[in-house]
Structure 1
């Protein structure tokens, strides 16, 4: 009579798989956004980054980081934009890891970091929070290299201008904070709308079409992640409008551009010619305030230069660090 061990083993394995599937289904039912977070974790690991959290004042920050760098390597702090998250920087981080110490936070109120009901998430309040984060987590006697994209660029400009002792060099990438040439995006913001709002499949497509110029760089969001992401953005609609009111049509809208006149550190201004969000005319406006900044205008990319042209963005950052200016 043949031994029954293989059949028994098969039954045990099948039972284990069923159990794992059941546990996964329960976890997904309790927190559908687990699917998106799992993909973000995959992206982080692919970029060679670790994850950490820290409480700074009244907010819990979550950030990705890499200490895989020479002992005397500069520290880079990378700030994401409106509706963005630390994951936006991963394509660039993959190209810089191993050369510099990297710190890539979710700004308070966004991503995995804490959102406090009723708190101010405008340019000025966030710039003070970033300064405190740098002092606590990224402290470097030489100062950090502070890089900001979009809304994060406006925040970075304020930090560099108001706290020069913490910032050795600054890079503003597709940065908000100046009155750029009129475009459809800006007109909708001034009209009280949220051009980045996502509430269904059509608005998700419109959102991606707005921020990306290169179709090949646009992320593919398969089912059920697309539905989960849409539901998350629906839940964030009121918060997004609150922030947009402060940074897009309130008294703080052009505060970063005004403060930029006080930036004395080596600086980089980088834009994409086809940016349909913050028109590339913003580059010249920031350059008027920071005349010593090196200017880089990339072609064939939109607002998400970090994803569409990561090689060129990384090269510009390296030149800012190694030579004090961009390429």
Structure 2
């Protein structure tokens, strides 16, 4: 009987980027084709703990925690300008330290505007894109976003306070289980870990600031779409079709600018990988084998 194939080892590391301690998970050969995993709200690289070893036998996989999330530094707002432009700069700085100059981006939720900003900075470095409920179109900003859009129009205390429930355990759990048929497939540690970091003193205010900053991503949507249209990066869309945060209309919109993108609408919700890993991993490995 042949020995079982070894499971790749994931390393848990920290790098100093622009004076910030940035935590990241890394696995696979350093000289292999790179895959960069960018997490969403309110998570961290923890959400990729199962995807990393599923790819790292053939790929160099890197998954950072954004500042204020997970195990990366959470400096006071007076010391760091929390926003998606800053996030993109931090990720870019980390990748340059690691001498990773070409990569496939896996983006989800907040990871999407972070990754797409990175693509605008270095379009030649993007070998491909995997978007798992990572939006870039106003088609994907529907009813869920109404209270956030109200904040964009008026950054008042009243509108900020209306969003504070978004940082509660109830809503954190909702993001993982809404639209999922078999909740037993979802690891409860997800919302427990996420909520631990959300509950740190000062973090709610950081998150409210990011909700307000998100309006700048929407202003950049035309630039993101121009990138898709002009560069036509190989794109795989693996999307939880039952997502009430970024509904399926946001996934379908990618095809307007990049008709060659592959669209797979899965019977899942916002964090689709959590219950559809058995579908997403084969799709990703097939996609990556063609991209690289």
TM-score using structure 1 length: 0.72
Instruction: Provide, for residues 170-224 of structure 1, a one-character-per-residue CA deviation record: whole Å limited to 9, x for no partner.
Output: 222211332125644222322344387234x6455445444755412333359xx
Q: Which residue of 1 aligns with 2:276?
A: 309
- Where relative contact order (Cα < 8 A, 6+ residues apart) is larger, the structure is 2
Separation in structure 2 between the aligned mates of residue 271 and residue 126 of structure 1, nearest angstrom: 23
Pick closer, same or farther for the CA change 1:198–1:233 going to 2, 3 Å: farther
Q: Which residue of 2 aligns with 1:23?
A: none
Displacement of 1:255: 1.6
Pick closer, same or farther for the CA change 1:226–1:115 going to 2, 3 Å: closer
The answer to whether the aligner puts 1:272 opposite 2:243 as a matched pair is no
The answer to whether the Cα contact below 8 Å between 2:92 and 2:118 also exists between their aligned partners in 1 is yes
Instruction: Provide, for residues 117-172 of structure 1, a one-character-per-residue CA deviation record: whole Å limited to 9, x for no partner.
Output: 333332323222222222111524xx111211111022212212331232222222
Which structure has the greater CA radius of gyration? 1
Pick closer, same or farther for the CA change 1:182–1:149 going to 2, 3 Å: closer
Q: Which residue of 1 aligns with 2:87?
A: 126
TM-score using structure 2 length: 0.80
1:287 alignment partner, one of 236, 243, 255:
255
Instruction: Provide, for residues 3-23 of structure 1, a one-character-per-residue CA deviation record: whole Å limited to 9, x for no partner.
Output: xxxxxxxxxxxxxxxxxxxxx
Q: Which residue of 1 aligns with 2:265?
A: 297
Q: Which residue of 2 aligns with 1:85?
A: 44
The answer to whether the Cα contact below 8 Å between 1:149 and 1:175 also exists between their aligned partners in 2 is yes
The answer to whether the Cα contact below 8 Å between 1:157 and 1:257 also exists between their aligned partners in 2 is no
The answer to whether the Cα contact below 8 Å between 1:50 and 1:65 also exists between their aligned partners in 2 is yes
The answer to whether the Cα contact below 8 Å between 2:42 and 2:172 also exists between their aligned partners in 1 is no
Instruction: Provide, for residues 88-108 of structure 1, a one-character-per-residue CA deviation record: whole Å limited to 9, x for no partner.
Output: 012222321212111111112
Displacement of 1:64: 0.8
Query: CA RMSD of the aligned region, Å?
Result: 3.0
Instruction: Provide, for residues 37-70 of structure 1, a one-character-per-residue CA deviation record: whole Å limited to 9, x for no partner.
Output: xxxxxxxxx9831111111223221111113x4x
The answer to whether the Cα contact below 8 Å between 1:61 and 1:114 also exists between their aligned partners in 2 is yes
Instruction: Provide, for residues 222-262 of structure 1, a one-character-per-residue CA deviation record: whole Å limited to 9, x for no partner.
Output: 9xx68973872675211111111111xx2333424532321
SS at match of 1:314: helix
The answer to whether the aligner puts 1:66 opposite 2:27 as a matched pair is yes
Any unmatched runs of 5+ in structure 1?
A: 1-45
